[in-house]
Structure 1
Amino acid sequence: MTPLAITFLVLAIVIVWGGLVASTVFLRRSPDVAEYPAGALDDHREDEAPIEHDT
């Protein structure tokens, strides 16, 4: 492998594994949301059927 390929390999490994480590540390510090935002009014979307097209 050329030095440029090794450099990009190391850079890619650092980005991927660094992101994994950073996200793990973030989740360890704040694992759960303390309070969820207030929800909107119920709009009854589940009461409507999907659109049916004549084919």
Structure 2
Amino acid sequence: MSGASIAMMAIGIIIIWGGLAASIANAVIKSKKSS
């Protein structure tokens, strides 16, 4: 594998995990506001 494809994969993984973390944080904030 070339460096470019590894970099693209790493960026994709970071975006996916960033999205997951954002959605989890959003759910936590909403549950705290409602309580």
Give me the CA root mean square deviation.
1.6
Deviation string 1:3-53 (CA, Å, 9 cap, x unpaired) is 00010000000111110011001110113xx5xxxxxxxxxxxxxxxxxxx
Between structures 1 and 2, the one with greater helix share = 2
Structure 1 gap ranges (5+): 35-55
Percent of matched pairs sharing the same residue: 31
Q: How many residues align?
A: 33
Normalised by the length of structure 1, the TM-score is: 0.53
Structure 2 gap ranges (5+): none
Distance 1:2 1:16 in 2: 22
